[in-house]
Amino acid sequence: MSDDGYTKHGAGRHDGPASTSPYPLSRLSAPHELVDVAREIQQADALLGAVTGGKLAQIARQIRALQEQARQVLDAAQRDSDLHRAACNFKKRPGHVYHLYRRGDGVRYLSMLSPEEWGGAPPHAFEGSYRLELDMSWTPADEAAAHDAEAGALARLLGRGE
């Protein structure tokens, strides 16, 4: 017998323990043939491809969601900028609701009077009501309650209580 566990006369025969055999020693063992190994590699590649595809699809969904959030942020910034540029003959104070109107010549202006306070017939086209926030952003008046509820929930979550 040679040093590697093989006999000189039976060059392909393994004489060591069955657990160290490079090939199955029992007829009940699965055959180790090149076709089986290739099939195993192919199945692993297919599974890895599916997993990778799933992860990439998830990243694509996240990218689309981030793009939508970015669009919303840019739209809000444009709206806020437009509202700050609207004509105004008084000092704007955070926490107050102001009403946006457009004159016939296209000039937009802020007023403290709502359409109802004009007797239901404002002198110019009404475009919306907005609350000025502490950070100088604007919240549409019809979204202010939801905005406040969200801020309160966030404060409670962060342990600041309210």
Query: Domain map of the chain by residue range?
Result: 34-85, 86-162
pLDDT in tens, 92-111: 999 999 999 999 999 999 99
Rounded distance between C-alpha atoms, residue 153 and residue 155, angstroms: 5
H/E stretch holding 127 reads strand 125-132
Nearest to 52 by CA among 63, 42, 44, 41: 44
121 or 81: which carries more pLDDT confidence?
A: 81
The confidence score (pLDDT) of residue 1 equals: 45
* Among 56-60, 79-83, 145-149, the least confident range: 145-149
